[in-house]
Amino acid sequence: MEEEKGEVSENKTNLFDNPKNVKRLLTVFFTSLLILFMIDFFIHKHGHFEWENWPGFYAVFGFVACVIVIFTAKLLRVFSKRDERYYD
Amino acid sequence: MINNILNTGFPPGLIFIIGAIFIPLFKGKWKSALMLMLPILAFMSLMRMPEGSNWMVKFMDYDLILGQVDRLSLPFGYIFTIISFIAVIFALQVEDDIQHVAGFVYAGSALGVTFAGDLFSLYIFWEFMAIGSTFLILARRTKASQSAAFRYIMIHVVGGLFLLAGIILYINETGSMKIVNMSLNSLSTWLIFIGIAVNAAIPPLHPWLKDAYPEATVTGAVFLSAFTTKSAVYVMARTFPGTELLIWLGAFMTILPVFYAEIENDIRRVLGYSLINQVGFMMCGVGIGTQLAINGTVAHAFSHILYKALLFMAAGSVLHVTGKIKCTEIGGLYRTMPLTCMFCLIGAASISAFPLFSGFVSKSMIISAAGDGHLVYIWLMLQFASAGVIAHAGIKVPYFTFFGHDSGIRAKEPPLNMLIAMGIAAFLCIFIGVFPQALYNILPYPVDYIPYTSAHVVGQLQLLMFGIFAFYLLLQSGYYPAEIRAINIDTDWFYRKPLRTLELGIAKILNGLNQSLDQLIVKDFTGYVNRFALEPVSNLTKFILSPIVRKDKYEEVIAPALRNGTSPIGVYAAFAGLFIVVLYVMF
């Protein structure tokens, strides 16, 4: 019964149950990545450090930093993970 | 007194604390009206308070200052009253006076700390803050919350004792209680520093925060997210600006929680770690200590309180309507909670510092200040942590709550008042992002910082969008840490495991000692004395005669004689004489 209700509302509002919408979102996302990367070559910059003026510096930095964060977190989990009732 | 109120307002903290007493006396609409009036009254009073030292109270030989108003304390006063107003709206449907009273005492004490001009009243409000906040955790009334609240208050009592010891030594050294700039050059200032650092959750003193906040009530966590750490940021900015140690502690503090947040299962605990990360930026700003850095710290505290409360409200709403808040148990909630989802996304965009959102105009001031000082490593650490924020708070929180795998839960939106509270906070997050000048105007120093340059906007967008790109790729390829039901040990392990074992061990030893002493003294010794005292004459006779008369002979002949009074009178006379001799010798 409850599931049925859920499905009814899904048909009305659920944006991302339609793969087309997910695809659209991803297209917008990848396009914006590309634009952001390209636009960087035409911007006049005077950063605090020299590397800030390299085109695409922040893109690479952001990407690499997130990869490092996620892999370090995975590594941390090896040491830190305990059962939920560890302290009980 | 009346004149005084008209001229200088009434200390806003006391409005909260005194007002809190009246909350249980009212019911229904009147109670709601009173609760909404208190932050408004406090804010109006704040507007009336002129800069300088107001509300001096004589206490013994010292002047207590309850209203130290200047451009550093005012912005904290504003945001503390604003967030109280929002948090009260969010909590209106709660029918538990303890939470309401505790919330106001807690918020009022934070205001008291903010406007305290002397160390003594600072300390008093500091401790009240600890007590008020503890009740917001206790009020959840679960076993986990009771023990978390216990650990929470223990940590804060210890932190408070450091502060108190430091303050007493400091007053002893300098003869003054005034709160002034200090430097870490004596035991007293070190103790004060550690006391503040506990409340600011500087690692390794941070785990109380991620331990306790997720166990608090839905509405209590909103209060908690605002006051303890940010009042510590304020006190740190007042007492230790420009302390180099803080730069490094702050930068480290921005990075460490990011990893934990990434693998944490409880969404409100993720937010707790992210809170520590954000306070790290502020600590770094205090440490850098330049005008731009202090401005950035205050601005970031201001916008942080709003978006962090917003995120805690969104997560709290989910917990309120579904009873669940763990990544493994929720997901896909955007279908039935679109408004809450939108507010959460606004909070996430603000904390990630997307352009047009509040974090963008405030956090960048601190990073810029690090750049101005050519602090290369600090700058890199802060930028790294900024990318880390998008990974855990910016994406993980909304994604695993409202999108991700469909948990099948079809919960409705929370009550209207909760939505309104989130709406106000979300509006302010965007307002500050779009009109940063409104915030810049109330900062301690004149601001000539321009956040919206094309280089800054594009750079920040690249950092964030390519961070999201990395998140997307790792999630798709299965490298992203899976959602699992588990906890992660942090530095609280030291007092939750070995210390607990030590405690249990000591308890065993002491209880054992207690028991054996009880046996020896209470049961054995007194029993012996009792038995002896029942028949003193007979017993003494037995003792004296023991060398000459055998034991069985004694029991057979002499004991009955003594018991029946048929013994020679001389025995009694001899004892009476002996008694007199003893008395004579002794006295």
pLDDT of residue B148: 95
- Of the partner residues B259, B335, B479, the one whose CB lies closest to the CB of residue A72: B259
Report the C-alpha gap between B12 and B49 in whole angstroms. 10
The pLDDT tens digits for B290-348 are 999 999 999 999 999 999 999 999 999 999 999 999 999 999 999 999 999 999 999 99
Reading the block at residue B327, the tokens are 């990544």
Of the residues B151, B274, B463, B479, the best mutation for testing chain A's interface (the one with the most A CB atoms within 10 Å of its CB) is B463
With an 8 Å Cβ cutoff, are B488 and A45 in contact? no
The pLDDT tens digits for B218-232 are 999 999 999 999 999
Q: Specify burial of residue B521 (Cβ count, 10 A radius: 0-12, 13-18, 19+).
A: exposed
Contacts of B335 in chain A (CB under 8 A): 6, 9-10, 13-14
Contacts of A46 in chain B (CB under 8 A): 455
CB B164 within 8 A of CB B121: no
pLDDT level of residue B545 (50, 70, 90 thresholds): confident
Q: Specify burial of residue B296 (Cβ count, 10 A radius: 0-12, 13-18, 19+).
A: buried
SS3 B53: strand
Contacts of A37 in chain B (CB under 8 A): 462
> Given a cut of 90, is residue B535 above it in pLDDT?
no
Report the C-alpha gap between B255 and B468 in whole angstroms. 18
> What's the CA angle centered on B50, arms B45 and B55, to 5 degrees?
75
Percent of chain B with pLDDT over 70: 98
- Of the partner residues A9, A33, A61, the one whose CB lies closest to the CB of residue B335: A9
The predicted model gives B370-389 an average pLDDT of 96
Q: Cis omega before residue B204 (within 30°)? A: yes
CB B210 within 8 A of CB B276: yes
Q: What is the mean pLDDT of chain B?
A: 92
pLDDT of residue B45: 92
| DSSP code string of B511-544 | HHHHHHHIIIIIIIIHHHHHHHHHSHHHHHHHHH
CA distances from B170 to A43, B120, B286 (A): 53, 11, 22
> Given a cut of 70, is residue A2 above it in pLDDT?
no
The pLDDT tens digits for B114-127 are 999 999 999 999 99
Closest to B408 in 3D by CA, of A83, A4, A6, A39: A6
- Of the partner residues A47, A48, A59, the one whose CB lies closest to the CB of residue B466: A59
> Given a cut of 80, is residue B562 above it in pLDDT?
no
pLDDT level of residue B560 (50, 70, 90 thresholds): confident
CA distances from B117 to A80, B28, B242 (A): 43, 38, 20
Contacts of B472 in chain A (CB under 8 A): 29
CB B462 within 8 A of CB A58: yes
pLDDT of residue A1: 32
pLDDT of residue B84: 98
- A vs B, Cβ pairs < 8 A, gives 161
> Given a cut of 90, is residue B83 above it in pLDDT?
yes
Distance between B145 CA and the closest CA of chain A, angstroms: 13
Q: Radius of gyration (Cα) for chain B, nearest Å?
A: 32
Contacts of A82 in chain B (CB under 8 A): 486-489
pLDDT of residue B58: 84
Q: What is the 3-state secondary structure (H, E, C) of B387-438?
A: HHHHHHHHHHHHHHHHCCCCCCCCCCCCCHHHHHHHHHHHHHHHHHHHCHHH
With an 8 Å Cβ cutoff, are B466 and A44 in contact? no
Q: Which residue of A has its CA nearest to B460?
A: A58
Contacts of B390 in chain A (CB under 8 A): 62, 66
Q: Which residue of A has its CA nearest to B463?
A: A62
**Residue B67's beta-bridge partner residues?**
B54
Q: Which one-letter amino acid corresponds to residue B319? A: L
Distance between A54 CA and the closest CA of chain B, angstroms: 11
Distance between B113 CA and the closest CA of chain A, angstroms: 34
The pLDDT tens digits for A27-82 are 999 999 999 999 999 988 888 999 999 999 999 999 999 999 999 999 999 999 99
The pLDDT tens digits for B226-283 are 999 999 999 999 999 999 999 999 999 999 999 999 999 999 999 999 999 999 999 9
The pLDDT tens digits for B441-479 are 999 999 999 999 999 999 999 999 999 999 999 999 999
User: Is B553 or A39 the better-scoring residue by pLDDT?
Assistant: A39
**Dihedral in degrees, nearest 10, Cα atoms B322, B327, B333, B339:** 90
| DSSP code string of B93-131 | T---HHHHHHHHHHHHHHHHHHH--BHHHHHHHHHHHHH
Of the residues B255, B259, B368, the best mutation for testing chain A's interface (the one with the most A CB atoms within 10 Å of its CB) is B259
With an 8 Å Cβ cutoff, are B486 and A81 in contact? yes
> Given a cut of 70, is residue B39 above it in pLDDT?
yes
pTM assigned to the model = 0.87
pLDDT level of residue A12 (50, 70, 90 thresholds): low
Is the backbone of residue B535 left (phi > 0), alpha (psi -120 to 50) or beta? beta
Give the phi and the psi of residue B266 in degrees, each rounded to 5: -80, 120
pLDDT of residue A5: 40
Report the C-alpha gap between A30 and B469 in whole angstroms. 8
pLDDT of residue B4: 61
pLDDT level of residue B548 (50, 70, 90 thresholds): confident
Domain boundaries, chain B: 1-236, 241-492, 498-586
With an 8 Å Cβ cutoff, are B408 and A5 in contact? no
pLDDT level of residue B572 (50, 70, 90 thresholds): confident
- Of the partner residues B388, B474, B485, the one whose CB lies closest to the CB of residue A65: B388
CA dihedral sign of residues B474, B476, B479, B483: positive
CB B125 within 8 A of CB B113: yes
pLDDT of residue B55: 85
